[in-house]
Structure formats: structure tokens, C-alpha cells
Amino acid sequence: MPTIDRRQFLVVGSLAALGIGLTACTTDGDWVAIEASALDDLRKRLHGTVLIPGDDGFTNAWMPTNGRYRDTVPMVVARVADETDVVACVNWAREHNIQPVPRGGGHNYAGLSTTTGLIIDLSKLNAVTIDTDAATMVTGGAASNGDIFGASTGGGLILPGGTCLSVGIGGLALGGGIGYHTRWAGLTADLLTGTRMVTASGDIALASASKNPDLFWASRGGAGGNFGINTEFTFDLVPVPTGDIVYYRFDWRGADAALAMFSAVDALEQTAPPEFVASGMAQATPVGADGPREAIDVMLRGQFLGSIDDFMSLIAPLLAAAPPAKQQIVAQPFWETAKIFTSAEATNHSWGDISRYTDAALPASALQKMVDLVVDTPSRTETDNAAMFMLGWVGGDVVDRFDRTETAYVHRGMKNMVRPSPVWSNTADAGVADDLMDWTDDVISVFDPHTPRESYQNFPNRRIDDWAQQYYAENLDRLIDVKAEWDPDNLFHSEQSIPTAAS
């Protein structure tokens, strides 16, 4: 995808002010001029707002959360007011051969919700309605985790979702949707019962088990930005646990503790019940007098839907292998625990995570090499560093009640997810980012012989060469067929969108 530098940005903004028009990326990746009259036509079609460079609010309307992609500046942002605006935007983009990209929360890890063409800002489509009698929820296409959490907190029903409050439901649900409640409540996508979508032809399609079932199948794991623009979702909800549950957090310091923790958690996840939820992390920190092996913060936290006694019995092998320096174990109401797992938006920065599912316990040698790589992290400042995550959110009997082809989310039968997570400031030297991403590749290479080549489509990364196979595996061919039916001209596309034909 072409990018636009600051000089081009200032030039096109000045031209727009003079009514001369703009240049934008076409659906084929080329540049095309947008006449001022075409922009006026778009404004007349919408109830919402059209923003171009220089307008108040333009930057906030398109800026991606991942600063790696902040140089891909759109020429036009349409902040839609309703579904009819989305239809108008799709028709306008098709008529003018301009790439349209929907933006909900703007959190796509690989910047796939950026474009130099038309950003369709869905942020006003954020309504959330809960029917407690039917145990269902209807959301707008861009309702955020925060919107949903706010509507649910304190009630008797939950839609299991992610942790970052500003993430949009579209990106979350369409790619799967994992978090601290997945193991016991299921994927967000598994609870989707219907969606409304504006298609490439500008029509409204309903997708459910009985209406356009292939499109519905693809909407549960096929990821966003492929088949159309989802303006509404309907979900079944799950009853929250009654009575107290266990929240826990353990903290350690150093490489030896990290190895002991990861080894014990990985072994535990092979047979743990769905009521047990764990997320482990080891993060490289600035090196002090004790050297790089000690300058590692190690943490494990999660919840257990049961009693403290049962939890202590379950966790005993881990505590024996890695006695924590600090620990918190408390029985408390479900919603008090759920609040702990939510997080507000961090300061805009750059990152480059790559995930890999595991379907069996990792060998001790691989875990040792992983920890050694954490010790050897190439940058260990407060802003430029890396962490290693082991997310036990992705497996268990509840997730595996569907088989691998029953929905487009293929990653059933998994036990864990490992995720090297490099971060750096937006002002860091390019060499810092390159070194951290090379480190990430080195970590994945350690796991490659011991894991299926499967990566989570909601944690995309442009460095994955065989990304389509890693995201979709045996479901890829069917997804290509659905794409060819609903978007044969590939209007909705990105660097990692599903193609209209097998390559």
C-alpha cells in the first residue's frame, strides 16, 4: 500500500483548501485524483461528517493505535452517523475506484485498518442493548469493549471479550475474540448469532445460521475487512458465576523464576479445567547491578471459578516449582475480578507481536531458549523493550466444543498461546524497531519445530510470510469461496485480506 509523507500531506491539504481536490490510493494500489466536486458529492450523501487533511478532528478520526502505521494517512475520513451512511460510502468508493477501509477501534496489530484512500469511521455506531430475558445482546458495529463492559457490569450476563476497553467489537468478534473469560465462557465469535453487513455492492446482507449461512460461517473467525462492513452484531450471553470466585496474582524476579513459571504453567494447562484461567509474562527491564538475568519482571495472574481450597490444590505444583516473591489470592465477586482485567488505552506507541498456538507441552529446551532470548532482549529501556507472554486463554472443553471447520476460527484443540511482544516509542530509531522485530522472529523460530504453524488472526503481523495458512489453515479455501461470492472485485482488501481466488 502506498504511504504519504509529510510534504505530500501538507500539499494535498493545501490543494483541498483551494477546492482543487486530493489524491488517494485506488482499489488497485495506484494513485488517483479526487476532484473537489467528488468530495462535495460525498458530503451531500451523508448524515455524518467528511474530514480531509487540515480539518479539525481529522487526525483523531484515522490515527491507528499502533504507531508503526501512523504514516499511512487517508485522504478522506467519513465519520458515519448510521448504516445508510456506510452504504453511501461504499457506493462512493466503488464509483471512484477508491479503497474503502472501515475503522472501529483502530487497534489492528498490522495496521490493516489504515489506508491512503477512504477511512469509514464507524465510531458512532456504538449502541449496546441487552435483553436479560432472552440473554442476548445487540451492538453497533463499532461498540467497544468499554461500551459492552459498561452495559454489562453488575448484571447476571456477560459477553466474553478482550481486555483493552477501547478495542471495537467488530475486530474482536470477527477474528475470534479471546480474553480472560474465554476458557469458561467461550470465544466472542462462538456466541455470535447474527450480523448486518454492508456488502461491496452497497446492499445490506443479514448473516445467521438460517440466512446466508456461508457468510455467517465466515464471520465467526474470518476476520474483519474481508467480506463487507458489519454495522450490527447479535450475541448470545453467558450467565456470570454466582458467589465469590478466586482472583490471583504472583510476582517473581529473574530468568530462573521465569523458566520455572512458564514450565509449570505450560504443564498445568495441558489438563486444567476450563474454570482455571492464567496469563503469564516475563518482561526485560533496564539492567541493574545484578546483570541482565535478574533484570526480568515475571508475573502470572488470572482467575479460578471455584473455591480457594480447590484453587490451591490445583496451583500447588506451580508454587512448589517457583515460590513467588509476592502473591495475592482473594475470593471476591465475579465483577470485582472482571474489572481488574480491563485496561485503558496506553500512550500511542509501536508494537510488533507475533503469536503461535501450542497443541502440546513445549520441551524444556525450547522454554530455556525462550527465556535466554528474553535475557538477550536487544533494547531494555522503559519505552523500548520486549516481553514474552504465555496466554492460557485459547483451549479447553468450552472452546473445543466446536470442531476446526465448524466456524472459520480454526484453532481448536490448542492448549496455549505463546506471544513475543516487542514495544517501542514512536520516536525510536529505526534500528531499535528492526532489532526488536528480529528478536521476535528468533523467538518464533525456537517454537517453530514444536508447534502447529497457526497464528491468531486478531494478532496479525506483516512479517508472517504464510499468514493465510497460519490464520485459517484448512478453512482457507472455503473463506476464499465466500470472498469470491460476496466481494468478487476485491473492493475490501489489505495486505493480509482473504483473496478472491486461490494463489
pLDDT at 361 over 70: yes
Angle between helices 255-269 and 308-321 (to 10 degrees): 130
Tell me: the pLDDT tens digits for 123-169?
Answer: 999 999 999 999 999 999 999 999 999 999 999 999 999 999 999 99
pLDDT at 83 over 90: yes
Report which of 237, 135, 251 is spatially closest to residue 191, judged by C-alpha positions: 237
Q: What is the mean pLDDT of the chain?
A: 93
Please give the residue that has the higher pLDDT: either 25 or 55: 55
Q: What's the Cα-to-Cα distance from 71 to each of 102, 222, 293, 314, 347, rounded to whole Å?
A: 18, 27, 37, 49, 17
Tell me: the pLDDT tens digits for 225-255?
Answer: 999 999 999 999 999 999 999 999 999 999 9
Long-range Cβ pairs for the range 6-12 (8 Å, 24+)? 9/53, 9/73, 10/53, 12/53, 12/75
Give me the residues paired with residue 328 across strands. 249
pLDDT at 6 over 50: no
Both ends of the chain: CA-CA distance in Å?
19
Q: In the prediction, which pLDDT does 18 show?
A: 42
pLDDT at 331 over 50: yes
- Global pTM reads 0.93
| Residue 439 grid cell | 528478536
Q: In the prediction, which pLDDT does 16 show?
A: 46
CATH class of 128-240+471-486: alpha beta
Q: How many residues in total does the chain contain?
A: 503
Q: In the prediction, which pLDDT does 210 show?
A: 98
Domain boundaries, the chain: 6-121, 128-240+471-486, 244-461
Report which of 1, 143, 144 is spatially closest to residue 71, judged by C-alpha positions: 1
Is the separation of the CB atoms in 110 and 496 below 8 Å?
Answer: yes
Q: Distance between CA 86 and CA 35 in Å, rounded?
A: 21
DSSP string computed for 211-272:
SSHHHHHHHTTS-SSSS-EEEEEEEE-EEPPPSEEEEEEEEEESHHHHHHHHHHHHHHHTT-
3-class SS shares of the chain: helix, strand, coil, % to 5: 35, 25, 45
Is the separation of the CB atoms in 77 and 58 below 8 Å?
Answer: yes
Q: In the prediction, which pLDDT does 174 show?
A: 98
| Residue 152 grid cell | 454489562
User: What's the pLDDT band for 9 if we cut at 50, 70, 90?
Assistant: very low
What SS3 string covers 99-118? CEEEECCCCCCCCCCCCCCE
Q: In the prediction, which pLDDT does 24 show?
A: 59
Q: What's the Cα-to-Cα distance from 346 to each of 275, 371, 458, rounded to whole Å?
A: 29, 26, 19
Average pLDDT over residues 420-429: 97
User: What's the pLDDT band for 447 if we cut at 50, 70, 90?
Assistant: very high
| Residue 240 grid cell | 456470570
Tell me: the pLDDT tens digits for 84-96?
Answer: 999 999 999 999 9
Please give the residue that has the higher pLDDT: either 502 or 482: 482
By percentage, how much of the chain surpasses pLDDT 70?
A: 93
pLDDT at 274 over 80: yes
pLDDT at 502 over 90: no
Domain 244-461 architecture: 3-Layer(aba) Sandwich (3.40)
CATH 3.40.605.10 fits 6-121, yes or no: no
pLDDT at 1 over 50: no
Q: In the prediction, which pLDDT does 28 show?
A: 59
Within 10 angstroms of residue 375's Cβ, the number of other Cβ atoms is: 19
Tell me: the pLDDT tens digits for 14-42?
Answer: 444 444 456 555 555 555 667 889 999 99
Q: In the prediction, which pLDDT does 21 show?
A: 56
Tell me: the pLDDT tens digits for 275-311?
Answer: 999 999 999 999 999 999 999 999 999 999 999 999 9
Is the separation of the CB atoms in 187 and 169 below 8 Å?
Answer: no
Report which of 460, 458, 316, 321 is spatially closest to residue 394, judged by C-alpha positions: 458
Q: In the prediction, which pLDDT does 32 show?
A: 64
